[in-house]
Every structure is written in C-alpha cells, then in structure tokens.
Structure 1
C-alpha cells in the first residue's frame, strides 16, 4: 500500500505578505527567497507530497531566469488573479487524495474548501521553513 498523494498549494502573495520584513520594497526578491526556501523544504517532505507555488503580479518576475530546482515543486504564474489560479489548480488536482492550500485569505479558503481542499495559514508554512 502506498501513502496518499498530497498536494500543497502555496498562495505566495499571502504568505510573503504575512511578515513585515520589507517585502514590498522588492516583491520579486521576496518571492525568489520564498521559492528557494520551499525548494529546500521539498527535499524533506515525503515522496508522495508535491508543492505548487502560485505567483502573481510583480512577484512573477521571481520566475524569470533560473528557478530553484526541487523535486516535486512546481511554480505557476497567474495571468491575472492569483486566487483564481489557485482555485483552478485545486479543481484540476484530481490525482491527489489530499490537497492543502496555504493562505489566510478567507474568501479563497471558502472557494478551495468547496473543492475539498484543507487550508492552513501562512504561519504553518513559516514554521516548516524556520
């Protein structure tokens, strides 16, 4: 018997914005640091766990050039609304038994929970990364 496949979807804007560390001065740089941190985390997660990080707006520039290479990590660029893209990712993730969305956005939580996802706040991810 294999472990259940788990997808963690990260609302990067929400996670980055949850800490007052000057991220607003360099959104792409803050997103790049988050991607680097999440890439490191994926090496510690079970092989049945995948992570998708959704970038929107100015943070999408973090994906220009070399993205961190990590096992089972995907970076998705939202063409418009990051929240809409996250809902799309969750709705299309039918090969995963468990889906967890990392966000504090109440409306987004309601939308993804309607698709069967669990939600956790940004603090959960920061704790995993610290």
Structure 2
C-alpha cells in the first residue's frame, strides 16, 4: 500500500480518497484538533487484562506516547459508531465482543472528542491493522499512569478511571410507565407493555442520559430490568432486556430486583412515579427518576 507523506503533525493516511472528516479544526488561539466532525476513541476494558492502549507511531501527533485507539468521525456518524469503527481499523477490535458502558464527551464548542468505554465480554487479541501503531497492549488501570501518555489522554484518564467501578443498572416499573401516556393502554395492557419494551430496547445504541440515572458524565448504557405485572405479564420477550413477570405485587418485584442488583455491586436507578415505591428504593440506595422523565427520553 502506498502511503502519502503527512503534513507536519498530521496522522498518516493510506493513499487515495480521504474522508471529509480527515482534517484539522483550528481554534481561534491556533490550537489544532483532528477531525472536522469531531473525533472518538474506545476505552475497552477486559476484566482480566486491563484496558487496551495504543503505542503511537513516531510520526503521528504526539508520537511515541500511549493513548486509546480512535480517530476522526465521519460526517453524520455517531460517536459510538466512530469509536467502534476506528478501534476496528486501528486495533482489530471486534465490536461484537464489546458491551458499551458509558460515553464521556469533551465538547469544546468548535470540536468534540467522545470516549466510549466498553466492557470486553468475549476476549480477543488486538491486531495492529494500520500504520498508526507500533504496539498494542492490555494495561492494568493502576499501571497506566506509569506510561508516557498522550497529553489529552493523560488529562482525560484522571476523570475516566474512577468511572470504571460504576456498573449501572436501571429497573423500570412498567405499570407506572405505561400509564404516563393516554394511548389506550387500558384496552390491551400486554400490547402497551410491548411498546415500552420495544422503546427501551431501541434506545440501546443511543444510551441513557446521565442525569436520568443520577450518574456523572454524559451517557450510560445500563443493563435494563423491566417488571411486568397483571395482564401485562403476557407481553412478548424483547432481546436485550431482563424481564421479570411478577406473580404478585409489581412493587415487591421492583424492590427485590433493586436488592439483588445492589448486592451484585451495581449502581441502581429506578424509573417510577409511585411515591411509596420510590421512597423504599431510595432507602435501599437507588437513584429514582420519575416515569415521565424516562418516557421523555424514550420519545422518538
């Protein structure tokens, strides 16, 4: 493959058409940022091996330092898709092996950088698949600061590392959520519940806003548990969700789910507008958001 010489400090690219996003954004103070439409990177975390870091080739921007696989976003490309694409191109990361956990966005107004943190659910060996890396390595979080880090990543790492311990879970009181919209749910409670389940599953790639979950940063991808009760229990299963079909009280099932998830070390949020249930869940350490708040997030 023929490689064209880069401009000073510019990432080297294969010869041929470049994406429109492969360009510098220049701030009023002269500072340059790579990616006309912003940039994104992947913080992949393997529970047994640590986080995946890229040793940058000498001719790249801040060459010789360590950072996350990542690069410029394409026009119209989501930050999540960009982080997965770039990490695949640069490190051979298989997206199917990952489960997103949170997205942290540095927004400078004229330019933004999004860091997607994802858990490795199926171990893989990274592969140097372009000319921008001289080494890829799994590094234990406690050893990251000992490496010569890219200045921007070094700054971001101080904010990101404490978040690695947060494993979010959202418990949804479906009966309460269904009742927030007068869409005829009382005529067919199972169908109304299915609409909620589909909306929750469909929200997956977009994530949930941090304030809904009572968490820091920008977006989170919680594991979602939905409690169905009464006639709604016959709603069809929906992929990507844990569905609890309460034999008795739905409120009791929500409380039991909160206890179980908290015991597993999850940071639990509950979506309900039932005052008594909300008070009980808060007493168990869960964050509570109103059903209407979640409904607003799920609106198209």
TM value normalised by structure 2: 0.40
How many Å apart are 1:42 and its aligned residue?
A: 2.2
Note the aligned Cα RMSD (angstroms).
1.6
Higher relative contact order (CA 8 A, sep 6+): 1
**Aligned position for 2:280:** 111
Tell me whether 1:23 sits opposite 2:185 in the alignment. Answer: yes
1:36/1:119 CA distance change after superposition, 3 Å: same
Residue 35 of structure 1 aligns to a residue whose secondary structure is helix
5 Å matches for 1:1-130?
1=161, 2=164, 4-45=166-207, 49-63=222-236, 67-70=237-240, 73-93=241-261, 94-130=263-299
**Any stretches of 5+ residues in structure 1 without a counterpart?**
none
Please tell me whether Structure 1 or Structure 2 has the larger radius of gyration of its CA atoms: 2
How many Å apart are 1:92 and its aligned residue?
A: 1.0
Greater percentage in helix: 1
How many Å apart are 1:55 and its aligned residue?
A: 0.2
Partners of 2:272 and 2:289 within 8 A in 1: yes
2: CA distance, partners of 1:99 / 1:8: 6
**Any stretches of 5+ residues in structure 2 without a counterpart?**
1-160, 208-218
1:62/1:116 CA distance change after superposition, 3 Å: same
1:3/1:42 CA distance change after superposition, 3 Å: farther
1: CA distance, partners of 2:265 / 2:199: 23
Greater percentage in strand: 2
